[in-house]
Amino acid sequence: MSKFRKVAFPFVLIVASFVALCAASVAHAQSTPYPGVGRLATAKEIAAWDIDVRPDFKGLPAGSGSVEKGQDIWEAKCAQCHGVFGESNEVFSPLVGGTTKEDIQTGHVANLRRSDFPGRTTMMKVATVSTLWDYINRAMPWTAPKSLKPDEVYAVTAYLLSLADVVPDNFVLSDKNIAEVQQRMPNRNGMSTQHNLWPGKEFKGAPRPDTANVACMKDCIPEAKVASMLPDYARNAHGNLADQNRLVGQQHGANTASPENKSSLAAGSAAPASVTPVKPPSKPVDPALALLGKHNCTACHAQDRKVVGPSFNDIAKKYAGKADYLRAKIKSGGSGVWGPIPMPPQTAPDGDIQTIANWLAAGAAK
């Protein structure tokens, strides 16, 4: 196709200058050698999908939202994952923290220079406020992306910025003042394209890679010393490695369920060469398990460990036999029983909620 472009455009010009009458009739055929493939996108279709907002705010819809309104939306739709103050580390990395008034002045987040500073929050890293608006608009809330209206996106963005003291508590963010807010982003000067990892010349980055090893073949180093290896207690932290390797082959998986025999070759440390394969479970799958995925329960709850909310096993233990209580609790939501992060009221069909409640009350068997 690129060949066609190089050849065809001059050809079109020549033809057009000599045969003006024909130019109109051949124009369509010349614009594509693939007639019948693709059609015009309508303005409504483009409006429905073209939602991106660039750093120069091209694509940003008009609108506004206050910090106060943003807080209401946040507590209802965002806090269960990100914490009331954007500080939560339970599901995703924290959004807020680690920035200072000085950073807002300089545009460089000083804590990024410290190797001892624990964690890097979104507000420490992001240089462009458009990025926040764009992603909240396209992808949040996590289980209902694209459900916020533009004014709500402005409000949520304003609240997030207020948590990092980029804007005051009484601020109203809008398309009119967002460019001024950009000038207060704590890490706005923190980006560099001086590297060799961009696959084009648009950024005029570094001319060469930043490492330059040589392929030495003999006596390259005086001595290899082991500087880092996993401690013995972590040997089985990823599960039994014997079960993660093929049953046959030049090496087998180490049986990490047993202590390592350090003194002799292969004395009981390798998996036996002949193992009866694990048969897939033949018992019927409880319909509640499918509903947990369908209604996004698993976004916050896991079978056997706390995520945002308590594990299904813990709920089943605490409320054994209490299906009616669980049904009501799923519908109403709440907080304080398992921790401060609220569970929003669930709007799944009653029958589905009953199925899940029954499953929990009966022991949450997987």
Partner 1 sequence: MHTSDGIQSGRIQKAPENFLDREGIRTVTAESKNGRRHFIRQAFAAAAAGAAAPMALAQGNPVPTEGGDTNILNLPEHSTGLGQGVASNGGYGVPSQFESNVQRRQSPGLTQTTQASVSFAPLQSLFGIVTPSGLHFERHHQGWWDIDPSKHRFMINGMVKTPKVFTMDEIMRLPSVSRFHFIECGANTAVEWGNVAVPTVQYTHGMISCSEFTGVPLITLLEIAGADLQNGKFILAEGGDGSSMTRTIPMSLITSGEVLVAYGQNGEMLRPENGYPLRLVVPGVQGVSWIKYLRRIEVGDMPYAAKDEAVHYMDLMPDGQHRQYTNIQECKSVVTTPSGGQVLLDKGFYNITGLAWSGRGKIQKVDVSVDGGRNWRTARLETPVLSKALTRFNIDWVWDGKPAIIQSRATDDTGFVQPTYKHLRAARGTRSIYHNNAIQSWLVQENGEVKNVQVS
Kindly identify the residues of this chain, within the stretch 175-204, that bind partner 1 according to CB under 8 A: 187, 190-203
Q: How far is CA 138 from CA 49, 133, 285, 336, in A?
A: 10, 9, 35, 31
d(CA 140, CA 70): 13
Residue with tokens 């704590």: 186
Q: Which stretch in 12-20, 105-113, 166-174, 347-355 sits in contact with partner 1 by CB under 8 A?
A: 105-113
Which parts of 43-72 interact with partner 1 (CB under 8 A)?
A: 45-46, 49-52, 54-56
When binding is defined by CB under 8 A, the residue of 17, 25, 170, 228 that contacts partner 1 is 228
At residue 247, φ and ψ (nearest 5 deg) are: -70, -30
Contacts of 294 (CB under 8 A, 6+ apart): 352
Contacts of 61 (CB under 8 A, 6+ apart): 150, 175
When binding is defined by CB under 8 A, the residue of 18, 37, 281, 351 that contacts partner 1 is 37
Identify the three-state secondary structure at position 163: helix
Instruction: Establish if 24 lies at the interface with partner 1 (CB under 8 A).
Output: no
Instruction: Establish if 116 lies at the interface with partner 1 (CB under 8 A).
Output: no
d(CA 366, CA 363): 9
Which parts of 302-331 interact with partner 1 (CB under 8 A)?
A: 307-308
d(CA 245, CA 45): 50
Q: Measured from the CB of residue 40, what is the shortest distance to partner 1 in angstroms? A: 6
Residue with tokens 């046959």: 248
Q: Measured from the CB of residue 261, what is the shortest distance to partner 1 in angstroms? A: 6
Which parts of 77-96 interact with partner 1 (CB under 8 A)?
A: 90-92
d(CA 339, CA 203): 48
Instruction: Establish if 76 lies at the interface with partner 1 (CB under 8 A).
Output: no
Which parts of 272-291 interact with partner 1 (CB under 8 A)?
A: 273, 277-278
Instruction: Establish if 218 lies at the interface with partner 1 (CB under 8 A).
Output: yes
Nearest CB to partner 1, comparing residues 21 and 229: 229
When binding is defined by CB under 8 A, the residue of 20, 24, 29, 220 that contacts partner 1 is 220
d(CA 180, CA 303): 47
Residue with tokens 């319909």: 287
Nearest CB to partner 1, comparing residues 181 and 323: 181
When binding is defined by CB under 8 A, the residue of 73, 78, 79, 126 that contacts partner 1 is 126
d(CA 117, CA 111): 6
Contact pattern from residue 229 through residue 268 relative to partner 1, giving x for each residue in contact according to CB under 8 A and a dash for the rest? xx---xx-xxx-x-xxxxx-xxxxxx-x---xxxxxxxx-
Nearest in space to 181 (alpha carbons), one of 78, 94, 98, 57: 57
Nearest CB to partner 1, comparing residues 92 and 325: 92
Instruction: Establish if 223 lies at the interface with partner 1 (CB under 8 A).
Output: yes
